[in-house]
């Protein structure tokens, strides 16, 4: 591990940065793409397909003009985009023409992380992988190969690996994102919320956003409905240490002290209960342990919360009353990327309890019941069963309430060799150096591996450490698994190729099939090509294949999504009711009602670093996209103007950030602003790339993940906090 | 003849820049340039703040200084819509129009001529909305004929408080911001 | 407290306008000098028409010199054009609202006037040409021999010079978007500055241009016609003193106009006051106070005063300083002017 971290990662602070302004361009830079354009018939061709710029998965219509990918517009038939994509979707054109795309399969030469590669054929790459996998299987069993993934394209690869005997799979969408929310809601209502969240913003009469920064966080449908809510002039309450875009539209902005949201939520519950503003009928009929809940939150008064949160008691009362007055069409947004402080499941549970008090479960203007659409499965052979437990959370003992794979759990197992060694990683479409906090641990884990395969479209940070890099085509060049969407109405979306692959990139399904063949299990994916697979599923579901190809989106049958329209209330909890008091939490030694703990205080001269999103970028995936790079080239560290003045910082100047463990970031511009609490700093995460192969993103801004050397693990489900680090400023020499 | 204009609701706009990137792909705007952009103005002191977010571009002024200063007639007013356009093969690249524009809406295209927002004339002459308007996820922009009292833009201007940018420049801009 | 962020970052436009760098100041400066020379030359022609000695340096040699300078200016202008191959488009149209269109056409006329004026002396300056094209000699004689024609040419030079001088200011002045330029005094200021620069340029030329009999050859003659004085005689002392006296007057007027420009801006709208601050106390203050006012006006004023008073010997230094100041004036006005912009008045 030493050589890895020393060589590139922690040493980044000492590197010299010219931040050479690489000329960004999004013209076709490759001969293949140019040739394709030259051969193409003149005129405009349109192809409907669904987007993969983020995981909201809107459907769009790609326009190809004279063989050139021209633009990507929303598909009006799509319930997600409603005909309008977000900037990342619109900028998808740039991902196709990105000059830095991976082009050929690569095998590592020399030390890991040295970035010395040999370009090989696909067959050579598969032979190499199969050979290494075979050796791992012989020595440690197939369970020693794990897969970390994030994207709809993971399906076929997962199936191939499962068929080979692998059992350890995890996506950062759970333990680094929405996991605590879904568990918190499941513990309360018996079911999580899933994606897209069934938030009825379009019909709500009062909306509270806790850290959720819609407008900067561009979850398309929600942003569209948020704008409608603004237009309807309903009371909006935004709780955020930062004057977010959403806060600027709100009736109430509560500039809360970071990490104290749970205190506010409990105080809101307290007010609703004490002032009798909650939905008594709902609670009486469906609540479990309400009296014990009331007793537990008795002391969580607004006055108490004011001390913790920095929000005055009168505002806490006023906002609680706004929420209560509008119920049941009153909505506290459950959030999405909620892994903040390590107590996130309990905080999410407090939101769930608040929702229960508002009686908005399954109600118009609250949280509706998402409807889906039945689509026939393809009869794939069942993978073999393993007698070993999953490594990340053996028999659910580490994290009793986790219901998905835990990425950091797999990393822990790789590091410790317990419960058994993990010797191979497949990393699909996620940059673990950004997705997981504790990057030093990721590097240490990589050092334990005999095989690291990275499948991606771009030379990500993690790909820099890979043994084998497999270049995938972008979503604009491939078929993919069908999207069966859940929402106010179920729907089915198709992804299909718009453009030819510019080089030797391949789609995930092809990679999976070839790998399976090389592993000697070709029968696990028993279709000739993906069109056959998709066509089977679609036609089996009674939908014409040609119609789906032409329309891109097919809507499912309408179903009631509100209780008032006849949707049934049912709670899949142990008590069969809404659990205000959770016996199962108590049984495992956790707080049966969320209990607030004050966040740790920063050392003198340090500030808590909080992070968020920019509307034009997704995680660390899009910074190099020439179009999106042009919109936002680097992140800034937001510092309150008064704080900046005290620290001798001027807006626009570059500084480095040093965290409590001495890790120093790449240089980042100061945004001296009134828009943030004086005791907090903020940055958009996903920037500060250190691979030269990303010519646009290289050394632009600072990486929040690099500074996240400290994190708290949510004991309920394994989520990792991202707001546990403190930083101070290091001025540029 | 219609007189095209735009009305943008700053209350709804979130400044996501979708309008910017949609313009870039629609119009093949070269990398590193933009024909439209986002301006954010924050007033007040923490925590008493107000913020206005605006999607800005050429105002297609009724009294366009860029047109009057052009020595060749490359900058001109075109129908339908009375929009301000630049004819690339008449432009000598003297940049007087760039200096004359109080909104800094123009730039020199890498090919040498001066370029700027066309209100997507290739679309709007056929009755479509400009790309920026059509893409906006918040539906904060409306486009239409300011001289038609029944148009959405006219109705919005009648019913909502609004302002234009730098009215003191006397250019009579045709983009209005609802507040 | 107002925080403004703009996502636009177009080259040459952001963070502040910089579409014109050195070329336009050179063009305006050359235009200004030529304007000054034409007026001074025109005045001399009127005197010659009255019977003064026509062989004085300033009367008839200046058009050739001005012809050279205007080429330098036009060259700079051409270099500034971003779409050079389409430059001919200017002369396919006349745009009555466009100062630049007016300027382009006026410059054609200026060219004509300068050539006609140069013709007066050309056969002597370039004997080879005079012999080959005897009609030139005939024309030259026709002009020099007729006080009426000489007067006409003189007035043409004066009027065109004044037009050209004011035009260099009007070009900027009409742009409402740049408050620093929004003063009607810019035209007169540039005109007077052009006059002082024109006088200084001739002064410098009279000192530095070689004095030899005109060479006989084709090439040598052509070059010497452009860069050499006629004859071995230095300009008369009286003429030089007149020039200096005139320059003192020009500089004094220029100083007053410059002061008026600043006061005019400062007492105008907020945008104009902010624009004035750019040159008075902002990033261009060093160039404004140090180079334009101190070096370019006050120093030559003092030096020339002392020269006339015979307290110090005649040198070319004041003239050189005037030229430096004249260029600095255009450079500062063009660059600071681009950086100036209308201050947002619209509230939330």
CA distance C148 to C131: 26
Residue A647 burial (C-beta neighbours within 10 Å; 0-12, 13-18, 19+): middle
Q: What is the pLDDT of residues A508-517, one digit of tens each?
A: 999 999 999 9
- State yes or no: pLDDT of A425 exceeds 50: yes
Residue A57 confidence (pLDDT): 95
> Across the strands, what pairs with A147?
A169, A426
Point out the least confidently predicted range of A1-5, A266-270, A358-362.
Answer: A1-5
Chains that touch C (3 or more CB pairs under 8 A): A, B
Residue C345 confidence (pLDDT): 55
- State yes or no: pLDDT of C205 exceeds 90: no
Q: What is the pLDDT of residues A232-259, one digit of tens each?
A: 999 999 999 999 999 999 999 999 999 9
Q: What is the pLDDT of residues C309-339, one digit of tens each?
A: 888 888 889 999 999 999 999 999 999 999 9
Q: Name the residue among B74, B102, B179 with its Cβ closest to that of C176.
A: B102
Nearest residue of A to residue B13, measured between CA atoms:
A227
Q: What is the pLDDT of residues A659-682, one digit of tens each?
A: 999 999 999 999 999 999 999 999
Q: What is the pLDDT of residues C147-183, one digit of tens each?
A: 899 899 999 999 999 999 999 899 999 898 999 999 9
- State yes or no: pLDDT of A401 exceeds 50: yes
Best probe of the B interface among C4, C14, C19, by most B CBs < 10 A, is C19
The rounded Cα C281 to chain-centroid distance in angstroms is 27
Residue pair A167/A143 in contact (Cβ under 8 Å)? The answer is yes
pLDDT category at C231 given cuts 50, 70, 90 is low
Q: What is the pLDDT of residues C23-35, one digit of tens each?
A: 999 999 999 999 9
Residue pair B125/A75 in contact (Cβ under 8 Å)? The answer is no
- State yes or no: pLDDT of A23 exceeds 50: no
Nearest residue of C to residue B50, measured between CA atoms:
C348
Percent of chain A topping pLDDT 70:
94
Query: Tokens for C320?
Result: 């050189």
Q: Name the residue among A215, A230, A630 with its Cβ closest to that of B31.
A: A630
CA distance C90 to C107: 12
Residue pair B139/C111 in contact (Cβ under 8 Å)? The answer is no
- State yes or no: pLDDT of A10 exceeds 50: no
Q: What is the pLDDT of residues A61-76, one digit of tens each?
A: 999 999 999 999 999 9
Q: Which positions in chain C touch B107 (Cβ < 8 Å)?
A: 10-13
Nearest residue of A to residue C5, measured between CA atoms:
A671
What residue ranges in A418-489 does DSSP mark as E strands?
A: 424-428, 451-456, 468-471, 483-485
Distance from CA of B2 to the nearest CA of C (A): 24
Q: What is the dihedral of CA A714, A717, A719, A725, to 10 degrees?
A: 0
pLDDT category at A560 given cuts 50, 70, 90 is very high
- State yes or no: pLDDT of A12 exceeds 50: no
> Across the strands, what pairs with A254?
A239
Q: Which positions in chain C touch A674 (Cβ < 8 Å)?
A: 1, 3
Nearest residue of C to residue A630, measured between CA atoms:
C9
Residue C111 confidence (pLDDT): 92
Test A231 with B18 for CB contact under 8 angstroms.
Answer: no
Point out the least confidently predicted range of A317-326, C21-30, C194-203.
Answer: C194-203
Dihedral sign computed on CA atoms, order C187, C193, C196, C197: negative
Query: Which of C18, A521, A504, A515 lies closest to B99 in space, CA to CA?
Result: C18
All structural domains of chain B? 4-178 (3.30.70.20)
For A211-214, the CB contacts below 8 A with 24+ separation are A211/A239, A211/A240, A211/A261, A211/A335, A211/A338, A211/A340, A211/A612, A212/A246, A212/A333, A212/A335, A212/A336, A213/A240, A213/A242, A213/A244, A213/A245, A213/A246, A213/A612, A213/A613, A214/A245, A214/A246, A214/A333, A214/B14
Test C19 with B50 for CB contact under 8 angstroms.
Answer: no
Residue C156 confidence (pLDDT): 95
Task: Give the count of beta carbons closer than 10 Å to the beta carbon of residue C229.
Answer: 22
What residue ranges in chain B does DSSP mark as E strands?
A: 4-9, 36-45, 48-57, 75-78, 83-86, 107-108, 114-115, 141-145, 162-164, 175-178
Query: Tokens for A413?
Result: 């197992």
Residue pair A47/A33 in contact (Cβ under 8 Å)? The answer is no
CA distance B152 to B154: 6
- State yes or no: pLDDT of A11 exceeds 50: no
Q: What is the pLDDT of residues B7-27, one digit of tens each?
A: 999 999 999 999 999 999 999
Distance from CA of B96 to the nearest CA of A (A): 27
- With residues binned 3-state (H G I as helix, E B as strand, rest as coil), the percentages for chain A, rounded to 5, are 35, 15, 50
CA distances for C133 relative to A653, B1, C61, C140, C144, angstroms: 68, 61, 20, 12, 18
Residue C241 confidence (pLDDT): 82
Q: How far apart are the first and last CA of chain A?
A: 30
- With residues binned 3-state (H G I as helix, E B as strand, rest as coil), the percentages for chain C, rounded to 5, are 75, 5, 25
The maximal CA–CA distance of chain A, rounded, in angstroms, is 74
A673 touches chain C (CB under 8 A): yes
Over residues A45-65, mean pLDDT: 97
Test B93 with C338 for CB contact under 8 angstroms.
Answer: no
Over residues B152-172, mean pLDDT: 96
Q: Which positions in chain B touch C108 (Cβ < 8 Å)?
A: none
pLDDT category at A28 given cuts 50, 70, 90 is very low
CA distance A480 to A655: 43
Test B134 with A626 for CB contact under 8 angstroms.
Answer: no
Task: Give the count of beta carbons closer than 10 Å to the beta carbon of residue C132.
Answer: 10
Residue C54 confidence (pLDDT): 64
CA distance A128 to A142: 16
Among all chains, which residue has been given the structure tokens 């003192």?
A: C248
Per-position DSSP letters for A233-301, written without gaps between them: T--EEEE-SB--HHHHT-SEEE-PPTT-HHHHHHHHHHHHHHTT-S-HHHHHHHEESHHHHHHHTTT--
Task: Give the count of beta carbons closer than 10 Å to the beta carbon of residue A540.
Answer: 13
3 state DSSP class of C163: helix
Among all chains, which residue has been given the structure tokens 């599923």?
A: A537
Dihedral sign computed on CA atoms, order C77, C78, C84, C85: positive
Point out the least confidently predicted range of A174-188, A654-668, C101-115.
Answer: C101-115
Residue A733 confidence (pLDDT): 64
Q: What is the pLDDT of residues C134-151, one digit of tens each?
A: 888 888 888 888 889 989
Q: Which positions in chain B touch C19 (Cβ < 8 Å)?
A: 95, 98-99, 108
Query: Tokens for A370?
Result: 């998402």
Which letter does DSSP use for residue C235 in this model?
P
Which letter does DSSP use for residue A392 in this model?
S
Q: Is the bond into A557 cis (omega within 30 degrees of 0)? A: no
pLDDT category at B45 given cuts 50, 70, 90 is very high
- State yes or no: pLDDT of A9 exceeds 50: no
A78 touches chain B (CB under 8 A): no
Residue C118 confidence (pLDDT): 83
Residue A725 confidence (pLDDT): 98
Between C7 and A6, the more confident residue is C7
Q: Name the residue among B65, B72, B165 with its Cβ closest to that of C346.
A: B165
All structural domains of chain C? 23-339 (1.20.1630.10)
Residue pair C206/C235 in contact (Cβ under 8 Å)? The answer is yes
Test A72 with B20 for CB contact under 8 angstroms.
Answer: no
Query: Which of A294, A279, A282, A262 lies closest to A326 in space, CA to CA?
Result: A279
Q: What is the pLDDT of residues A356-388, one digit of tens each?
A: 999 999 999 999 999 999 999 999 999 999 999
pLDDT category at A40 given cuts 50, 70, 90 is low
Residue pair A490/A463 in contact (Cβ under 8 Å)? The answer is no
CA distance B111 to A400: 63
Rounded to 5 degrees, what are φ and ψ at A695? -65, -30
List all residues 6 or more positions away from C135 whose beta carbon is below 8 Å from its beta carbon: none
All structural domains of chain A? 2-21+598-731 (2.40.40.20), 106-175+377-473+502-540 (3.40.50.740), 196-370+562-587 (3.40.228.10)
- State yes or no: pLDDT of C211 exceeds 80: no
Q: What is the pLDDT of residues A488-524, one digit of tens each?
A: 999 999 999 999 999 999 999 999 999 999 999 999 9
The size of the A-C interface in CB pairs under 8 A is 6
> Across the strands, what pairs with A612?
A684
Task: Give the count of beta carbons closer than 10 Å to the beta carbon of residue A211.
Answer: 25
Residue A361 confidence (pLDDT): 98
Residue C246 confidence (pLDDT): 87
A631 touches chain C (CB under 8 A): yes
Test A631 with C7 for CB contact under 8 angstroms.
Answer: yes
Which letter does DSSP use for residue A603 in this model?
P
Over residues C200-208, mean pLDDT: 83
3 state DSSP class of C155: helix
- State yes or no: pLDDT of A432 exceeds 90: yes
Residue pair C8/C16 in contact (Cβ under 8 Å)? The answer is no
Q: Which positions in chain A touch B42 (Cβ < 8 Å)?
A: 243, 673-675
CA distance C69 to A27: 44
pLDDT category at A18 given cuts 50, 70, 90 is very low
pLDDT category at C232 given cuts 50, 70, 90 is low
- State yes or no: pLDDT of A27 exceeds 90: no
Residue C117 burial (C-beta neighbours within 10 Å; 0-12, 13-18, 19+): buried
Q: What is the pLDDT of residues C36-57, one digit of tens each?
A: 999 998 998 898 888 877 665 5
C272 touches chain B (CB under 8 A): no
What residue ranges in A418-493 does DSSP mark as E strands?
A: 424-428, 451-456, 468-471, 483-485, 491-493
Dihedral sign computed on CA atoms, order C125, C128, C133, C137: positive
**Average pLDDT score over chain A:** 94
Q: Name the residue among B18, B34, B47 with its Cβ closest to that of A86.
A: B18
CA distance A367 to A189: 12
Over residues A554-569, mean pLDDT: 96
CA distance C171 to B96: 9
A216 touches chain C (CB under 8 A): no
Q: What is the pLDDT of residues A211-220, one digit of tens each?
A: 999 999 999 9
- State yes or no: pLDDT of A19 exceeds 50: no
Best probe of the A interface among B8, B10, B15, B21, by most A CBs < 10 A, is B21
Q: Which residues of A462-472 are buried (b: 16+ CB within 10 A; e: fewer)?
A: bbbbbbbbbbb
Between A706 and A13, the more confident residue is A706
**Which ipTM was obtained for this model?**
0.97
Test B18 with A615 for CB contact under 8 angstroms.
Answer: yes
C80 touches chain B (CB under 8 A): yes
Nearest residue of B to residue A88, measured between CA atoms:
B18
What residue ranges in A94-218 does DSSP mark as E strands?
A: 106-108, 117-119, 145-149, 168-171, 206-210
């Amino acid at each position: 591990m030493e050589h890895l971290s020393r060589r590139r990662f922690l040493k980044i602070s000492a590197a010299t940065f010219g931040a050479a302004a690489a000329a960004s361009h999004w013209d076709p830079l490759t001969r293949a793409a140019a040739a394709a354009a030259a051969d193409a018939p003149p005129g405009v061709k349109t192809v409907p397909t669904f987007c993969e710029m983020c995981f909201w998965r809107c459907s769009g219509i790609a326009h190809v003009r004279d063989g050139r990918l021209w633009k990507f517009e929303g598909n009006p038939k799509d319930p997600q985009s409603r005909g309008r994509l977000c900037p990342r979707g619109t900028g998808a054109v740039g991902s196709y023409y990105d000059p830095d795309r991976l082009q050929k399969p690569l095998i590592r030469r020399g030390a890991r992380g040295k970035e010395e590669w040999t370009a090989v054929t696909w067959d050579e790459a598969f032979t190499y992988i199969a050979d290494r996998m075979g050796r791992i299987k012989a020595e440690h069993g197939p369970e020693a190969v794990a897969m970390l993934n994030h994207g709809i394209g993971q399906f076929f690869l997962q199936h191939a690996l499962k068929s080979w005997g692998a059992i350890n799979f995890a996506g950062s969408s759970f333990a680094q994102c929405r996991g605590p929310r879904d568990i918190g809601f499941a513990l309360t209502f018996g079911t999580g919320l899933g994606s897209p969240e069934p938030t009825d913003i379009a019909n709500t009469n009062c909306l509270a956003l806790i850290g959720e920064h819609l407008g900067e966080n561009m979850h398309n449908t929600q942003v569209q409905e948020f704008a409608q809510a603004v237009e309807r002039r309903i009371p909006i309450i935004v709780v955020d240490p930062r004057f977010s875009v959403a806060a600027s539209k709100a009736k109430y902005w509560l500039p809360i002290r970071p990490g104290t949201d749970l205190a506010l939520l409990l105080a809101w519950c307290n007010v609703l209960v004490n002032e009798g503003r909650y939905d008594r009928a709902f609670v009486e009929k469906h609540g479990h342990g309400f009296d014990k809940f009331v007793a537990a939150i008795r002391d969580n008064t607004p006055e108490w919360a004011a001390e913790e949160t920095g929000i005055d008691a009168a505002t806490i009362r006023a906002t609680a009353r706004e929420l209560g007055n509008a119920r049941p069409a009153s909505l506290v947004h459950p959030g999405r990327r909620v892994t903040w402080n390590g107590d996130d499941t309990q905080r999410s549970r407090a939101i769930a309890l608040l929702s229960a008090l508002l009686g908005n479960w399954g109600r118009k203007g609250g949280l509706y019941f998402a409807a889906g659409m039945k689509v026939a499965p393809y009869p794939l052979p069942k993978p073999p069963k393993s007698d070993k437990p999953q490594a990340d959370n053996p028999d659910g003992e580490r994290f009793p309430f986790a219901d998905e794979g835990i990425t950091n759990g797999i990393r822990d197992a790789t590091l410790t060799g317990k419960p058994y060694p993990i010797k191979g990683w497949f990393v699909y479409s996620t940059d673990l150096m950004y997705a997981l906090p504790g990057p030093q641990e990721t590097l240490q884990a990589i050092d334990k591996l005999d095989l690291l395969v990275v499948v991606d479209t771009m030379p990500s940070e993690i790909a820099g450490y890979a043994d084998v890099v497999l270049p995938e085509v972008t979503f604009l060049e491939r078929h993919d698994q069908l999207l069966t969407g859940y929402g106010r109405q179920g729907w089915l979306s198709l992804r299909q190729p718009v453009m030819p692959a510019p080089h030797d990139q391949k789609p995930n399904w092809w990679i999976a099939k070839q790998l399976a063949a090389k592993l000697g299990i070709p029968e696990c994916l028993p279709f000739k090509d993906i069109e056959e697979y998709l066509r089977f599923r679609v036609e089996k579901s009674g939908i014409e294949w040609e119609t789906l190809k032409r329309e891109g989106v097919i809507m499912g049958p309408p179903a009631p999504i509100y209780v008032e329209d006849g949707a049934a209330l049912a709670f899949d909890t142990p008590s069969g009711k809404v659990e205000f008091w959770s016996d199962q939490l108590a049984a495992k030694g956790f707080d049966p009602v969320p209990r607030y703990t004050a966040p740790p205080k920063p050392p003198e001269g340090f500030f808590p670093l909080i992070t968020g999103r920019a509307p034009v970028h997704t995680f660390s995936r899009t910074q190099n996209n020439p179009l999106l790079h042009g919109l936002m080239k680097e992140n800034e560290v937001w510092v309150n103007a008064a704080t900046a003045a005290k620290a001798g910082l001027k807006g626009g100047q570059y500084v480095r950030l040093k965290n409590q463990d001495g890790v120093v970031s790449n240089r980042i511009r100061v945004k001296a602003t009134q828009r943030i609490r004086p005791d907090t700093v903020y940055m958009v995460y996903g920037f500060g790339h250190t691979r030269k192969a990303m010519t646009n993103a290289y050394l632009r801004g600072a990486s929040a993940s690099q500074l996240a050397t400290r994190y708290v693990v949510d004991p309920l489900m394994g989520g990792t906090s991202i707001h546990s680090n403190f930083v101070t400023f290091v001025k540029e020499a | 003849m219609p007189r095209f204009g735009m009305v943008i609701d700053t209350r709804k706009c979130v400044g996501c820049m979708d309008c910017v990137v949609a313009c870039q792909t629609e119009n093949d705007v070269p990398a590193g340039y933009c024909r439209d952009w986002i301006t954010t103005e924050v007033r007040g002191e923490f925590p008493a703040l107000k913020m206005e977010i605006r999607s800005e571009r050429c105002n297609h002024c009724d009294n366009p200084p860029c047109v009057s200063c052009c020595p060749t007639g490359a900058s001109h007013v075109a129908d339908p819509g009375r929009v301000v356009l630049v004819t690339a093969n008449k432009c000598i690249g003297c940049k007087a129009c760039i200096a004359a524009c109080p909104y800094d809406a123009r730039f020199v295209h890498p090919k040498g001529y001066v370029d700027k927002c066309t209100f997507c004339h290739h679309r709007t002459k056929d009755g479509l909305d400009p790309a920026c308007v059509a893409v906006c996820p918040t539906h904060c922009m409306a486009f239409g004929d300011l001289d038609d009292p029944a148009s959405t833009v006219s109705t919005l201007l009648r019913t909502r408080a609004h302002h234009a940018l730098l009215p003191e420049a006397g250019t009579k801009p045709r983009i209005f911001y609802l507040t | 407290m107002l925080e403004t962020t703009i996502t636009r970052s177009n080259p040459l436009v952001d963070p502040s306008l910089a579409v014109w760098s050195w070329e336009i100041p050179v063009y305006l400066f050359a235009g200004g000098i030529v304007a000054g020379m034409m007026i001074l030359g025109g005045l001399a022609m009127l005197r010659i028409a009255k019977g003064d000695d026509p062989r004085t340096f300033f009367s008839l040699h200046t058009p050739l010199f001005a012809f050279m300078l205007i080429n330098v200016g036009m060259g700079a202008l051409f270099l500034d054009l971003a779409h050079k191959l389409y430059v001919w488009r200017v002369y396919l149209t006349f745009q009555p609202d466009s100062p630049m269109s007016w300027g382009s056409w006026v410059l054609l006329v200026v060219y004509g006037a300068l050539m006609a004026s140069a013709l007066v002396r050309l056969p002597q300056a370039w004997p080879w040409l005079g012999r080959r094209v005897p009609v030139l000699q005939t024309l030259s004689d026709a002009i020099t021999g007729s006080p009426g024609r000489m007067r006409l040419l003189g007035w043409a030079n004066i009027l065109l010079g004044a037009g050209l001088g004011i035009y260099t200011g009007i070009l900027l002045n009409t742009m409402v978007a740049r408050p620093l330029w929004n003063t009607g005094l810019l035209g007169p200021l540039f005109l007077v500055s052009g006059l002082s620069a024109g006088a200084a340029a001739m002064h410098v030329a009279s000192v530095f241009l070689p004095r030899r009999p005109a060479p006989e050859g084709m090439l040598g003659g052509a070059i010497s016609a452009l860069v050499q004085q006629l004859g071995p005689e230095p300009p008369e002392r009286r003429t030089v003193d007149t020039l200096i006296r005139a320059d003192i007057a020009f500089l004094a007027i220029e100083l007053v106009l410059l002061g008026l420009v600043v006061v005019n801006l400062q007492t105008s709208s907020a945008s104009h006051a902010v624009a004035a601050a750019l040159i008075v106390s902002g990033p261009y203050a060093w160039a404004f106070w140090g180079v334009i006012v101190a070096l370019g006006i006050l120093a030559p004023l003092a030096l020339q005063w002392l020269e006339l008073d015979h307290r110090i010997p005649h040198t070319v230094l004041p003239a050189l300083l005037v030229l430096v100041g004249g260029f600095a004036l255009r450079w500062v006005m063009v660059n600071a002017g681009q950086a100036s912009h209308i201050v947002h008045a619209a509230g939330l």
